[in-house]
Chains A and B, each alone.
Chain A
Amino acid sequence: MVIRRISVRLYLVAAVLVVIVIATGWVLAGLVNLGRTQELERRWSRQQTEWNHVQLLYSNVQRRPLAESCVEARSALLDSVEHIGVMQRKLENYITSPFGDSNDRILKLHREHMKVTLAHWEMTTTLRQACGSAPPPVLYLYSGKRCSRCSVQKKILLFMERSNRSELLAFAVDVDFVPTEEVSRLMGFYAVTSLPASIIAGAKYEGFLPRNRLQKILSGIATR
């Protein structure tokens, strides 16, 4: 007969070691997270400076819509749009990573970023009206939390934008990160009742838009 016993000490030692490993992992994760947050905040600060410059050029266009000022403003705007695209990808990658949505600083940054994305869209729309040379802006409103497949539409828009920059400029806005009153105002203005929705040249399109349909809409705008 074997003498049975419970090796309490072994279980406790293992538990203490697990706690130490987890705590070490927690500290390391915290440091990596801190590094990420600081890097994103630095980027965001550069992005703000760039945005201020674009706004300055835009005010010139509003004062005197000349060809040179239009070209200058358009070029600066396109650069800024490209950078906010990169910023958005990074922010979304971090937020969608495991437990990434628990970093308040990143979430705050994402909210500010969404506001600036909306401002970029508005500016592109008015610049197009003032100068007539900017590509048609497409505002894509979606909810990352409520619709996991919405990212597919966003990728299609970005693909089309990359394939032909003069065809469209895509602005994807996750409404979960935009102040409610702003969302209500926007959705009310364009009579959007469900998400995802796209606003192309002032017209709203609800639901998923296949690529050929999008191309048809955009070619219709180009011939106008």
Chain B
Amino acid sequence: MERMAYYVIACGYLSVLYLTIFWLVVLFRERAGARENLPDQRNGSHSSSPLVTVAIPAWNEAGNIQETMRSALALDYPHDRLELIVVNDGSTDQTAALARQTAAENGGRRITILSQTNRGKGAALNVALRAAQGEFFIPMDADSIIQEDALQRMMPHFADPSVAAVLPLMKVRDPRTVLQKIQWCEYLVSGYYKCLMSALDCISIIPGPFSIYRARVLAALGGFDEKNITEDVELTLRLQHHHHKIVQVFDTEVRTTAPATWRAFRRQRNRWYKGTFLNGLRYRRMAFNSDYGDFGLIQMPRLIVELGVSLLLNSTLIYAFLWKPLTTQLTILWLTDFDMRGLLLDWFSDWGFIDIEWALVFFVVLGLYVGYSLVARAHRFAHEPVGRYGRSAIFAFLLLFPPLITAIYAGVVADLLRGKALRW
């Protein structure tokens, strides 16, 4: 059992090592290019401002809707070229009334408020897409805030006709709890990683808040999948399936509210990971398919196996390095009247340099160092001071995020095995 655990850990370590080194190689290749080539990516930008539609699907968002609408209306973009559509998805609170009030306050602007019975985010976005007149379509989550010059920075990327979607950098809005601070770090690392993926046309998820789509492409693909629990992942894979280019930018940010409690976090992540896995299976034909280049070779297999492999690897790590030693020591302590002296003697008696488990020390220190460097780099990359919410948040992210995700993965696997209803 233990030997098998070590083999699993060794295989997992090798895979993680390979992927880390692979993306580091991409980083070194792109480091200069990502920043310096940006003007080239933007050259030939639109001489005129095309009409854009910002769509806000809202379900019981009375607390956020006005601020989100004001954030969209405050965008630095010609007012007559910006259309705002709010779709009230059967809210039972004051969302619709508050949206109308904000529309009334901004009388001269192109604002449309639509209502439907509750049918989910995908359906609400499709309603907005059908009503939209813009050349570009921008879904915006009702709990998100966008920076004013976002369109100025993101639109020029559409000068390349193969670009179908442009993504902003996501940040957690005003993190207060430890869990939100952990997600703050996660979002930054994820954004950094996506920029690298973007370099290889390997983006596998277009986040909900303020990603810009070419409306023509979106309509041609049939809009959002209304029955999908992660319609954004599904749409991303569909775009990849049809060989459309997706670009991640790093100089525009959108701030979104992250779950503050474990319960809300677990619910959100359960849906995300379940949806990602199921959509990965749905588009499995892209995996190892040379027609899809790097995306088919490295990204699609990851989407499909990540859930199982991560669960197996993290569970094995927890079993081998936490559960087994802990239960053994507790059993011994219990049978020896909690003889702490004996335990300490066992560990430290005649202790020397060679007694240190160097391999373990090496992996832990290296893991923490690489992890910390990555988070620090992601902060700098996102123009944030390192440890903006305390350096302890970074260590909390490095140490607590893997077990948290393992617990959620276990829940997802259990749900999938039980065939538990898949809904938003």
Contact = CB atoms under 8 A, between A and B. Distances in A.
Contacts of B292: 4
A130 B339 CA distance: 34
The 3 lowest CB-CB distance pairs between A and B, nearest first, are A4-B293, A14-B22, A159-B336
Interface in B349-376: 349-350, 352, 354-355, 357-359, 362
B22 A11 contact: yes
Interface residues of B, number: 44
A1 B385 CA distance: 38
B336 A155 contact: yes
Contacts of B41: none
Interface in B317-373: 328, 331-332, 335-336, 339, 341-342, 345-346, 349-350, 352, 354-355, 357-359, 362
27 contacts: A1-B243, A2-B162, A4-B292, A4-B295, A5-B293, A5-B294, A6-B293, A6-B294, A7-B200, A10-B25, A11-B22, A18-B18, A22-B14, A36-B354, A39-B354, A86-B349, A90-B355, A97-B357, A97-B359, A99-B6, A148-B2, A152-B331, A155-B335, A155-B342, A156-B335, A159-B336, A159-B342
Contacts of B415: none
Contacts of A17: 21, 25
Interface of A: 1-2, 4-7, 10-11, 13-15, 17-18, 21-22, 25, 28-29, 32, 35-36, 39-40, 86, 89-90, 93, 97-99, 148, 151-152, 155-156, 158-159, 162-163, 210-211
A97 B14 CA distance: 19
Given A7-B200, A18-B18, A35 B354 contact: yes
Contact of A14 (B18, B296, B357, B359): B18
B352 A39 contact: yes
Contacts of B162: 1-2
A21 B354 contact: no
Interface string B1-29: 01000100100001001100110011001
A14 B23 CA distance: 8
A13 B294 CA distance: 15
B301 to A, nearest CB: 13
B291 A4 contact: yes
Contact of A18 (B17, B294, B346, B357): B17
Nearest to B342: A159
A14 to B, nearest CB: 4
Nearest to B243: A1
A7 B358 contact: no
Contacts of A25: 362
B21 A14 contact: yes
A21 B200 contact: no
A97 B363 CA distance: 14
Interface residue SS majority, chain B: helix
B201 A10 contact: no
Nearest to A151: B328
Residue from B22, B244, B295 whose CB has the most chain A CB atoms within 10 Å: B22
Given A5-B294, A89-B346, A211-B335, 10 more contacts: A4-B295, A6-B290, A7-B200, A11-B22, A13-B25, A14-B21, A155-B332, A155-B342, A158-B342, A162-B342
B245 interface: yes
A140 to B, nearest CB: 15
Contacts of B2: 148
A152 B331 CA distance: 8
A10 B349 contact: no
Given A17-B21, A97-B357, A152 B335 contact: yes
A220 B201 CA distance: 79
A110 to B, nearest CB: 16
Contacts of B346: 89, 155
A133 to B, nearest CB: 25
B297 interface: yes
Contact of B359 (A40, A90, A98, A151): A98
Nearest to B357: A97
A109 to B, nearest CB: 13
B339 A29 contact: no
Nearest to A87: B350
A17 B29 CA distance: 15
Contact of A159 (B26, B243, B339, B354): B339
Contact of A4 (B201, B332, B339): B201
A145 to B, nearest CB: 10
Contacts of B21: 14, 17-18, 21
Given A10-B25, A159-B342, A2 B244 contact: yes
A32 B358 CA distance: 8
Contact of B243 (A4, A18, A211): A4
Interface in B145-204: 162, 200-201
Nearest to B291: A4
Contacts of A21: 17, 21
B298 to A, nearest CB: 8
A15 B293 contact: no
